Each structure stands twice: as structure tokens, then as C-alpha cells.
Amino acid sequence: MKRLVLITAAAFIGLSAYAQQALFGGSSAESPVINPDGTVTFRYQAPKAVKVTLSGDFLPVQTMEFDMGGQKITYDMPGVAELKEGQNGVWEYTTPFKVAPEMYTYTYTVDGTQVIDPNNVFVNRDIASLTSVLLVPEAGARSDLYAIHRVPHGTVSKVWYHSDVEGFDRRMTVYTPAGYEDNPKAKYPVLYVLHGIGGDEDAWVTQGRATQILDNLIARGEAKPMIVVFTNGNISQEAAPLENSTGYTRPTMDLPETMEGTFETAFPEVVKCIDSHYRTIAKKQGRAICGLSMGGFHTLYITLNYPDMFNYSGMFSAAIGTGSEQTAAHKEIYENVDGKLAAYFAKKPAMLWIGIGKTDFLIESNNEFRAKLDAAGYPYKYMETDGGHIWRNWRIYLSEFVPLLFK
Amino acid sequence: MKRLVLITAAAFIGLSAYAQQALFGGSSAESPVINPDGTVTFRYQAPKAVKVTLSGDFLPVQTMEFDMGGQKITYDMPGVAELKEGQNGVWEYTTPFKVAPEMYTYTYTVDGTQVIDPNNVFVNRDIASLTSVLLVPEAGARSDLYAIHRVPHGTVSKVWYHSDVEGFDRRMTVYTPAGYEDNPKAKYPVLYVLHGIGGDEDAWVTQGRATQILDNLIARGEAKPMIVVFTNGNISQEAAPLENSTGYTRPTMDLPETMEGTFETAFPEVVKCIDSHYRTIAKKQGRAICGLSMGGFHTLYITLNYPDMFNYSGMFSAAIGTGSEQTAAHKEIYENVDGKLAAYFAKKPAMLWIGIGKTDFLIESNNEFRAKLDAAGYPYKYMETDGGHIWRNWRIYLSEFVPLLFK
């Protein structure tokens, strides 16, 4: 009956032309709604459900402690709230507080089954998990960088390059800043941005809001116009899940060739491809690299093994000290760290930047690394934030790192 | 407990570095699974559910007839199947037949609430509806064109241009074929591809699999390398939902300025932008245009109002005869159709192509239009397929239309 009404309504307003599939989706409950007082209301229509809860990182986190083989690690779990059933089987929850400006993810759990919000088409994929997204921007707040404004926008491209190391074509995301096309003689510096385990060339663009951050920082005059390259650090993969020739392979964290040296070994072919296809400042002074978690690990070793390649390096919650170096296929990438650090700093790079959260389970290994730098008197910039190993921190680190580049 | 196990497991396999959010998602039920015999199994974990059904367009369609103000229209509804509860609260359904190679969408309905498949990260948005996607490719079948193969891939870019007509920047998707970057002196023909009501610059790339179709046809030598431009036909919008500065505006079919002439009036600024930023064959012989539903309507009137602009035009399930022309802001776009048809055909365009489904509710108005062409002796190509106003047909039409261009 609802379908018939929809079709008839569409006919009456003169819109007889629409995609058939569109008629099947969504319930009429509006969710999420950012209320005028800054609270947020979530709704889920489930007339027969017994219990509906909401799990989201805007709710007070539960920091939990785990024992991992003798090592205590802490982990931030998103808080949980219960929805109450109202009229017409629509369950509802309104936060008892103004939700701070930020980008959040959440899911519902309906009688034990986790689902995303069917009324919210803003969906993120992280590895094999889908979550709904809540973006609360606010003028003056950092999250305003994550929103889309009427400023000049860069071009975001999915680009394939041939990997000689792997023997097949691989995909990356390339951001060219606003004005790139209209200034055909200008040359631009390049920032390479690497994802974490389970991520891919889409991660920084979707969950990281990196292209919005770049558009907004450049528009404000707080960052130089630059080309930004988002690689796929899973070197055995062509591209993100569903974007490669293997079809329905279920996304997994357990990919081969992620932290054993092949990606670092192959990195110069990415730089060569970018330098030969874009108008770049093709030298150390025009190059920066950064990455989160596994990408921070990659950043460190790419930086150390090619000390003439990057002038700026950023390690965000870097996954150092996991021991993966010891079983690496390319052991040479991870050997002689002290010697490589000495050689790298002898060449006076413009900046090594380290950021990590106070409750990140990797903070100890990062502290050890910093102690090593301190002992040798090597300079670096350091940022410590609240929270753990989470995207909120990685967006903060990117938005702090980018304005410091190419000045 | 499950979370602790996941963290510990990750630690043991040496992967201590992953996105926190990734730990929260998904159940362990694998779904969908294409079985060796070609049947497909769907699973949904819901231990407390009473009834779980599946609605998908691979199930036998139910063609329904509606009366719309005296006019009978038929509409294909996707079939429905019931899942049965098995062990551990996992509901399951296996098709009793081999699912024919094609790209399908489906959703579950759990005790009256429609949800997507939480185990399938392949999600489509159509207007405000999310559906899960099932792609069944098969060598030799048409759907093989929709799959990603190890062939050279074009670049897919999200590009912003300034609309003088609207006064703000607008987004489009631009496909440049493999080899474009490596042949800096080559010039390419351009195909403009338009979406239907509720769609946007993403629709043809996601649901339409257009860039896969182009990659594969070009790799097979069945289509000329060409630039393809996917515009946003909702001229009052900057970009797709969540990609514009209005934030959380709920996507809707009921947009202003969709079929009242402004888009057609503004189309030359899109062509001008493409011709000035890409290496195009910037004349009628190097241009084609096509569109589905509302985009077929746009295609017709852009073709007729700029008879020197396009040599090839394709109307896919075109939304003609809806009456929207009579209340148009830019009436001049829709006036004097007979005169414009005469002027257009007098210039001997290479091809007008019309495709529609046998049960499409727009077939009568398309038949009337063809009768007018026939009466005047105007040449056109025609394809009639099974089924109605659905994406399956639009993918077929695109894959039939593209090989005929620029020969």
C-alpha cells in the first residue's frame, strides 16, 4: 500500500520518472537529527523489537584494560545508550547533552543484531564493518574542517598505476588542489598519506575527511596548495575491496604483505609515477609523507630507507614495536635503524612529526622510540591528545601536520 | 568477550595496529555466497527475530498494475523469499535456482523493519535508500562487463566547475580512458551521461557500473577510447547528498529545477568547461550524450536545442510525456518540438538511439514519440528489452550504445 501511495504521489507531483529501486528503501523515521539545542536525536523503526540500543563514539567512552601476553593495553570502547519505543514502533534516543562538534560513527543493536541506521545514507566502511556517520560541524570548531563549504574544491581522482614489483595495476586516490587545472605551468609539492591495517586507498578520503581538510585549510590560507596521494598499503591487493578483480573477497585485516617490507621496497615506483604524471616539485623539498598506525610504521621505514626522498614525515599513532619487523620478507628495510636514523638526521630533514593519543595501546612503543630520539638529540615535533587509536585523532593529526608543510 | 578475543587474536598474529571502529562491526555470518552450482546463499544473524524475509530483483518479479488518474501503468516489484532460522540464530536462504549473471540489489525485512545485509559491504545508495548489492559476473555474459578485470583502467575523478547560471561550484564525475595521461598529444571524443530523478553525479558510476563498462569495452576493442562526463542534473544542487555544503539534508526525489529547463539552458557551460580542461575533440563529431529517465528527457531537449552540439544521442527509458514541460521556467526549451526535430535531422546527426523496457510505465509516451519520428521519416535506432524502469536495463542500454559511438 505504501508503495502504491508513493507511486501515485510521484505521479501527482509530475515526477513519473525515478529509479524503481528507490521506492523500496528507508523508513519514514528521520535520523539522525541535530536539534537546535545541539542535542542529537536517533530513531529506528522496529515495531516488533524488544530492545534497541545505540553504540557511538559521541557517548562517553568506556576505556577498558586488557592483558596481552603480559602487556597491559587500554582500549576505548564507544558508549552505549538505550532507545525507548514511541508511537508507530519508532524507537528514539536523544542525547542528554549537546554533542560536541566532531565526526562520529554509530550503529544500532536490535535484539542482539547490529545494524546501521537505515535512515542515514552517510555510511562508512572500515575493513568489513559498516557504520553510520554523524558529522557535527560548527563554525570555529576543528570539525568545521571536515565539512564541505562553498570554497574552491580540489579534484579527487581514482588513478591506476602499474606496479613492477607486484606485476599488476594498482589503484590510488590523488587529490589535486583547486587551481591545478587553471595554472598549467605551476608545479606543486606532494604529500603522501598512508592508511592503517584493514584500510585502503579510500580510508583517508572517507573516514579521514582528508580532502575536505585540504580544501578548507588551503581556502583559509593555512596550508599551501599541494597534491595529495593516498596509496593502498596492502601491496598484494590491486585496490580496495569491490574495486579489484577478485570480486566478493570478504575484506579482512589479515592480508599478506602489509608490514614485511614489500610496500616500503615498492614505494619509489609510486613516487616515480606521480612525478611523471603530475606537475610536481620532484625533489625532497617538495615531498612529505605521513600515515596512521600501520601507515605510521610504513612512513617511518620509507623515510629511513630513502633519506633523500622526503623533507617532512608524520607518524600518527604509528604501529612501531609490534615485532613484525623480525619476520619480514624484506628484513633489510628494518635493519640498522640506529644507523639509518643517524644518516637521515645528518641530512637535516625539515620535520619529523609524531602524534599519539594518551590511551592509545601503542603509546609505550612510541614513548620508547621518542626516548631513543631524545637520547641522540634528534629533533622532532610531538603532539599528545586525549583518546586512543581512533579516527578522531588521525583527523586532528592530519589537520595539524598539513599547515606545517612546504613553508 | 568477542571484542577481547578479536583484540587478543590480532595481537597474536602480530597485527596490533588497526582501526578501533573496525572491531565493532559485522557478524560472523558470511553473506551473500555464490555457490559452485550458481545458487546464492543469504544469511542474517538475528537470534530473537520471528520473521526474516529477503527482497531482491534476482527473485521472480511481480509485475503489478496501477491506475494513475485513468492511465494504467505497470510496475515491476522485486520478489520476496523467506529465510529459515538455523544454528546460532543465523537465518538462511538459498535460491532454488542458479542466479543468472547480473548485478542485483536486495534488502532484508526483519520483523517488519527493512535493513541492508550487515555482512555485505557492497552498498548502493539510490536517493535516500540503501540496498545491498549482489554482482554475479560470468565470462561471456553481459554482466562480465560490470566486473573489474585486469585490464587497463581509466581514471575516475570528482571535478568541480563553476556554474555561471547557478552562481556556485558544482560537481561532476569525469572518466578519462586508460592511456589518456600517457598520450599527452592525443585528443578524445566525449560522451555525456545523465542520471534520472533522485540520482546525481555518482549514480551511473555506482549503480550503473559505467566506468567498468567503459574499461572493459575499450579493452576488448569494442569501443573507442573516450572521455565520459557524468553530470549532476539537479541544477539547484552543488553535488550529491553529503558531498555538498548543505550537510545533512535528507536526499529526496522532490528537488526543484529538475525538469523545467534550467539544466538544459545551463548545459553549454558544462561542455565549455570540459573542452577547456581536457584534450577533447571539441566539435559535434566528437560529442555524444545519453541519459536514463529524467536524463533521457534532458538528453532529448539538449539535443534539440543545440543541434550542432551532439552527433550521437541516446534516450534510455526517457521520461517524456510527463507534462512537466508545460509548467517549465524555461518554456522555450520545450517549445516548437516539431520545428526543432526538423532542424536537428536536417543536420544529419550520426545517431539517435532509443531504448526502453516492455513493461516500463513510460513505454506509451516513448511509442508516441517514435510514431512521430516514423511519420516524419526521421531515422533512429531502437532497442526494446524485457523488464521495466530498472537499472538492469540502463546498464544494458549503455553497453549497447557506447560501442556505436565515434566510429
Contacts of A148 in chain B (CB under 8 A): 239, 243-245, 247
Tell me what percent of the residues of chain A surpass a pLDDT of 90. Answer: 74
Contacts of B46 in chain A (CB under 8 A): 110-113
Cell of B392: 538492469
- CB pair distance less than 8 Å for A197 and B389: no
What interface predicted TM-score (ipTM) does this complex get?
0.91
Of B45, B150, B133, B211, give the one whose Cα is nearest residue A125: B133
Confidence of residue A3 (pLDDT cuts 50, 70, 90): very low
Cell of A64: 577498558
- CB pair distance less than 8 Å for B112 and A390: no
- Chain A nearest CA to B352, separation (Å): 21
Q: Give CA–CA dist A124/B88, Å, rounded.
A: 27
Contacts of A214 in chain B (CB under 8 A): none
SS3 content of chain B, % helix, strand, coil (to 5): 30, 30, 45
Q: Give CA–CA dist A225/A179, Å, rounded.
A: 9
- CB pair distance less than 8 Å for B297 and A18: no
DSSP H or E run through B364: helix B363-376
Whether residue A353 has pLDDT greater than 70: yes
Q: Give CA–CA dist A295/A194, Å, rounded.
A: 5
Q: Give CA–CA dist B334/B302, Å, rounded.
A: 10
Mean pLDDT within A8-27: 34
Confidence of residue B28 (pLDDT cuts 50, 70, 90): low
- CB pair distance less than 8 Å for A157 and B160: no
Mean pLDDT within B274-291: 98
Q: Give CA–CA dist B228/B180, Å, rounded.
A: 12
Closest residue in B to A391 (Cα–Cα): B19
Nearest to B196 among A18, A116, A317 (CB): A18
Q: Which pLDDT score is estimated for A7?
A: 41
Local structure of residue B1 (DSSP, 8 states): -
Q: Would you call B355 exposed, middle or buried from its count of C-beta atoms within 10 A (0-12, 13-18, 19+)?
A: buried
Those residues with Cβ within 8 angstroms of residue B9's Cβ, 6 or more apart along the chain or in another chain: none
Phi, then psi, of B20 in degrees rounded to 5? -60, -45
Q: Which pLDDT score is estimated for A28?
A: 63
Whether residue B17 has pLDDT greater than 60: no
Closest residue in A to B122 (Cα–Cα): A242
Tell me what percent of the residues of chain A surpass a pLDDT of 70. Answer: 92
Q: Give CA–CA dist B127/B107, Å, rounded.
A: 15
Q: Per residue in B319-347, pLDDT tens?
A: 998 888 888 899 999 999 999 999 999 99
Q: Give CA–CA dist A262/A395, Å, rounded.
A: 27
**Are the C-beta atoms of residues A318 and A362 closer than 8 Å to each other?**
yes
Q: Which pLDDT score is estimated for B152?
A: 98
- CB pair distance less than 8 Å for B127 and A78: no
Q: Give CA–CA dist A276/A174, Å, rounded.
A: 14
Answer with the residue of higher pLDDT: B186 or A126: B186
Closest residue in A to B152 (Cα–Cα): A169
How many other CB atoms are found less than 10 A from the CB of residue B286? 20
Using CA atoms, how far residue B61 sits from A347, B75, B113, B117, in Å, is 68, 10, 21, 20
For chain A, the first-to-last Cα distance in angstroms comes to: 63
Q: Give CA–CA dist A65/A57, Å, rounded.
A: 18
Q: Which of B233-247, B270-284, B286-300 has the lowest mean pLDDT?
A: B233-247
Those residues with Cβ within 8 angstroms of residue B220's Cβ, 6 or more apart along the chain or in another chain: none
Q: Give CA–CA dist A89/B389, Å, rounded.
A: 32
Nearest to A111 among B48, B157, B207 (CB): B48
Cell of B43: 544469511
Nearest to A245 among B150, B168, B362 (CB): B150
Strand partners of residue A175: A156, A228
Confidence of residue A22 (pLDDT cuts 50, 70, 90): very low
**Are the C-beta atoms of residues B154 and B215 closer than 8 Å to each other?**
yes
Those residues with Cβ within 8 angstroms of residue B346's Cβ, 6 or more apart along the chain or in another chain: none
Using CA atoms, how far residue A342 sits from A307, A353, A379, A382, B103, in Å, is 10, 17, 12, 19, 55
Cell numbers 545485509: residue: B117
Q: How many CB pairs under 8 A join A and B?
A: 346
Mode of pairing for the β-strands spanning B102-110 and B52-56: antiparallel
pTM of the model: 0.91
Number of H-type helices and E-type strands within chain B: 8, 20
**Are the C-beta atoms of residues B210 and B191 closer than 8 Å to each other?**
no
Q: Per residue in A61-74, pLDDT tens?
A: 887 777 767 777 77
**Summary mean pLDDT of chain B:** 89
Whether residue A36 has pLDDT greater than 80: yes
Answer with the residue of higher pLDDT: B29 or A80: A80
Is cis: bond before B32, omega within 30 of 0? yes
Contacts of B73 in chain A (CB under 8 A): 7
Closest residue in A to B73 (Cα–Cα): A7
Nearest to B157 among A111, A135, A156 (CB): A156
Confidence of residue A9 (pLDDT cuts 50, 70, 90): very low
Contacts of A113 in chain B (CB under 8 A): 27, 44-49, 110, 118
Q: Give CA–CA dist B393/A168, Å, rounded.
A: 33
Q: Which pLDDT score is estimated for B20?
A: 31
Phi, then psi, of A284 in degrees rounded to 5? -50, -45
Those residues with Cβ within 8 angstroms of residue B86's Cβ, 6 or more apart along the chain or in another chain: B92
Torsion (CA) A213, B177, A181, B286 in degrees, nearest 10: -140
Whether residue A191 has pLDDT greater than 60: yes
User: Which of B3, B13, B16 has the highest number of chain A CBs within 10 A, making it the mutation to test binding with A?
Assistant: B16
Angle at A129 between CA A398 and CA A261, to 5 degrees: 55
Q: Give CA–CA dist A122/A110, Å, rounded.
A: 20
Local structure of residue B249 (DSSP, 8 states): P
SS3 of residue B226 by DSSP: coil
SS3 of residue B64 by DSSP: strand
Local structure of residue B132 (DSSP, 8 states): E
Answer with the residue of higher pLDDT: B63 or A154: A154
Q: Per residue in B142-164, pLDDT tens?
A: 999 999 999 999 999 999 999 99
Nearest to B155 among A24, A55, A158 (CB): A158
Nearest to B147 among A121, A207, A247 (CB): A247
Q: Per residue in B367-379, pLDDT tens?
A: 999 999 999 999 9
Q: Which pLDDT score is estimated for B16?
A: 28
- CB pair distance less than 8 Å for B135 and A16: no
Is cis: bond before A60, omega within 30 of 0? no
User: Which of A20, A44, A182, A242 has the highest number of chain B CBs within 10 A, making it the mutation to test binding with B?
Assistant: A20
- Chain A nearest CA to B69, separation (Å): 9
Contacts of B66 in chain A (CB under 8 A): 4, 7-8
- Chain A nearest CA to B297, separation (Å): 10
Nearest to A55 among B24, B122, B389 (CB): B24
- Chain A nearest CA to B367, separation (Å): 16
Query: B53-79 b/e with 16+ CB inside 10 Å = b?
Result: bbbbbbbebeeeeeeeeeeebbbbbbe
How many other CB atoms are found less than 10 A from the CB of residue B140? 7
* Residue A173 Rama label (left phi>0; alpha psi -120 to 50; beta): beta
- CB pair distance less than 8 Å for B153 and A131: no
Q: Give CA–CA dist A63/A51, Å, rounded.
A: 24
Cell numbers 509530475: residue: A14
SS3 sequence, chain A? CHHHHHHHHHHHCCCCCCCHHHHHCCCCCCCCEECCCCCEEEEEECCCCCCEEEEECCCCCEEEEEEECCEEEEEEECEEEECEECHHHEEEEECCCCCCCEEEEEEEEECCEEECCCCCCCEEEECCEEEEEEEECCCCCHHHHHCCCCCCCCEEEEEEEEECCCCEEEEEEEEECCCCCCCCCCCECEEEEECCCCCCCCHHHHCCCHHHHHHHHHHCCCCCCCEEEECCCCCCCCCCCCCCCCCCCCCCCCCCCCCCCHHHHHHHHHHHHHHHHCCECCCHHHEEEEEECHHHHHHHHHHHHCCCCCCEEEEECCCCCCCHHHHCCCHHHCCCHHHHHHHHHHCCCCEEEEEEECCCCCHHHHHHHHHHHHHHCCCCEEEEECCCCCHHHHHHHHHHHHHHCCC
Q: Which of A14-18, B71-75, B77-81 has the lowest mean pLDDT?
A: A14-18
Contacts of A7 in chain B (CB under 8 A): 66, 68, 73, 75
- CB pair distance less than 8 Å for B17 and A391: no
**Are the C-beta atoms of residues A137 and B247 closer than 8 Å to each other?**
yes
Helix ranges restricted to H, B207-336: 210-219, 262-277, 294-305
Answer with the residue of higher pLDDT: A404 or A22: A404
Q: Which of B67-81, B110-124, B262-276, B393-407 has the lowest mean pLDDT?
A: B67-81
Query: A91-104 b/e with 16+ CB inside 10 Å = b?
Result: bbbbbeeebebbbb
**Are the C-beta atoms of residues B46 and B110 closer than 8 Å to each other?**
yes
